[in-house]
């Protein structure tokens, strides 16, 4: 007879204490701790390419990009997660004054992996949509040239406003007047 181990649930405070000592990142999903998958060279190149362009373009503005080392707290669903790139407007709003966890992204960008692409498209996007100031969601495929761009309308509806499939295509973020070609996003990325 097989005995199933009882699932352990953690408080946000317990998770944060464990995360400070962890050798790798974990997400927190309403009491459960979920290990994050490791990155790839393509994933890293895409994040670095895009975050570098964003950081340079947004200098001197009211917008600031953050990469996957800054955690996001999603209040309504009690989730801590690490988006690949977040952009905020104004000052960061911190979770319980923690300088490593913010709550106010305007734009979230995820680079898809085989193990997370379904979650990033479905439940994770559903959770992100509950963040009051969140306006644009970008999904970047690391296995082929393909970028999806979702935007929140004035009527609070989320629409897929663009699908880009060529290196000449331009991703334009309406919330902060930023544009970049896919060739710049995918610089040095090799597809197998």
CATH number at residue 165: 3.90.1570.20
User: How buried is 166 (Cβ within 10 angstroms: 0-12 exposed, 13-18 middle, 19+ buried)?
Assistant: exposed
Which stretches within 28-116 are classed as H helix? 41-57
Q: Is residue 22 part of a domain?
A: no
Q: Is residue 79 part of a domain?
A: no
Q: Is residue 124 part of a domain?
A: yes
The whole-number pLDDT of residue 168 equals 98
The whole-number pLDDT of residue 1 equals 54
CA angle 145, 45, 88 (to 5 degrees): 90
Q: Is residue 12 part of a domain?
A: no
pLDDT digits 0-9 by tens, 160-189: 999 999 999 999 998 898 999 999 999 999
Q: Model's pTM, two decimal places?
A: 0.94
Contacts 24+ apart (CB under 8 A), 163-167: none
Q: Is residue 168 part of a domain?
A: yes
What is the Cα–Cα distance from 82 to 67, expressed in whole angstroms?
8
- Determine the structural domain holding residue 155 and report its residue range: 39-68+84-185
Sign of CA dihedral 39, 45, 46, 49: positive
CA 189 from chain centre, in angstroms, equals 19
Q: Is residue 30 part of a domain?
A: no
Q: Is residue 148 part of a domain?
A: yes
What is the Cα–Cα distance from 168 to 33, expressed in whole angstroms?
40
Q: Quickly state the pLDDT bin for 42 (edges 50, 70, 90).
A: very high
Q: Is residue 1 part of a domain?
A: no
pLDDT digits 0-9 by tens, 28-39: 999 999 998 778
Higher model confidence: residue 63 or residue 23? 63
What is the Cα–Cα distance from 10 to 52, expressed in whole angstroms?
36
5, 87 Cβ separation under 8 angstroms: no
Q: For residue 140, how many other CB atoms are within 10 A of its CB?
A: 27
Q: How many domains does the chain have?
A: 1
């Amino acid at each position: 007879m097989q005995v199933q181990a009882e699932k352990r649930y953690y408080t946000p405070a317990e998770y944060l204490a464990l995360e400070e000592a962890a050798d790798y990142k974990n997400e927190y999903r309403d009491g459960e701790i979920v290990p994050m998958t490791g990155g790839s060279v393509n994933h890293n190149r895409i994040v670095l390419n895009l975050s570098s362009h964003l950081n340079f373009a947004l200098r001197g503005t009211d917008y600031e990009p953050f990469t996957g080392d800054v955690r996001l707290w999603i209040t309504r669903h009690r989730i801590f997660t690490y988006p690949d790139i977040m952009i905020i407007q104004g000052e960061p709003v911190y979770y319980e004054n923690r300088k490593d966890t913010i709550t106010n992204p305007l734009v979230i960008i995820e680079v898809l992996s085989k193990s997370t692409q379904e979650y990033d498209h479905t439940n994770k996007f559903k959770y992100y949509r509950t963040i009051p100031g969140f306006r644009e969601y970008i999904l970047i495929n690391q296995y082929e040239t393909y970028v999806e761009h979702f935007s929140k309308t004035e009527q609070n509806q989320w629409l897929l406003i663009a699908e880009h499939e060529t290196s000449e295509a331009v991703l334009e973020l309406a919330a902060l007047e930023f544009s970049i070609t896919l060739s710049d996003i995918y610089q040095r990325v090799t597809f197998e």
